[in-house]
Structure 1
């Protein structure tokens, strides 16, 4: 089974660095201590669900993106493809067959 915590901690660091935030800035935004962010990124502690949501909000990403990078974008892209390509094809098929 995949180690979701390992992915989570690496994604927290990835998004924090992408936003050019220090651990202290992220801690302030997530309403926790700088030490906790450091421990999460080092893999020595696991945050609660509420803390995960706060960290995601501070990083301005969907919480799912912390477990699967760009997960929310992927879902959005999939929905867009369905709306733009598949639905018109289905409608055309229905019109021809009925």
Structure 2
């Protein structure tokens, strides 16, 4: 019985996530991310290395810290060219009039969609 339990555990594959990639993309250290999610740096290290599985609560906390959706933590590698389009990042440091124009454009697209 114990042998069978060990085999089942061994066969489980960890769920692939992009926590480390999101942390690097957001230019955060493990300590900074740990502070944002109110956990230890050691836990962040364990999550990134795959030795600790993500809980639902942690997925939401990380997504909030990364300013993205929980699904993106699993689906999107932000370090791959063109996989993340974050308008706030694209507009950071741009003149206020350009930011306002871009926001108006996005509002027009979103507001004009029929549901």
Question: Which category of TM-score, normalised to the shorter sequence, fits these structures?
Answer: 0.5 to 0.7
The aligned length equals 71
Q: 2:63 aligns with which of 56, 59, 81?
A: 56
Q: TM-score, normalised on structure 1?
A: 0.62
Instruction: State the alpha-carbon separation in 2 of the partners of residues 48 and 57 from structure 1.
Output: 14
Instruction: State the alpha-carbon separation in 2 of the partners of residues 62 and 22 from structure 1.
Output: 20
Which consecutive unaligned segments of at least 5 residues does structure 1 have? 75-79, 88-98
Correspondence 1:42 to 2:49: yes
Deviation string for 1:15-67 (max 9, x for gaps)? 11011100110111111111110000001000210111001111111100011
Summarize the alignment of residues 19-34 of structure 1 with structure 2, pairs less than 5 Å apart.
Answer: 19-34=26-41
Larger RCO (alpha carbons 8 Å, 6+ apart) = 1
Correspondence 1:18 to 2:13: no
Structure holding more helix per residue: 1
**Deviant stretches of 4+, over 2 Å:** none
Structure-2 change in CA distance of 1:4 and 1:39 (3 Å) = closer
Instruction: State the alpha-carbon separation in 2 of the partners of residues 45 and 30 from structure 1.
Output: 16
Q: TM-score, normalised on structure 2?
A: 0.54
* Backbone CA RMSD of aligned residues: 2.5
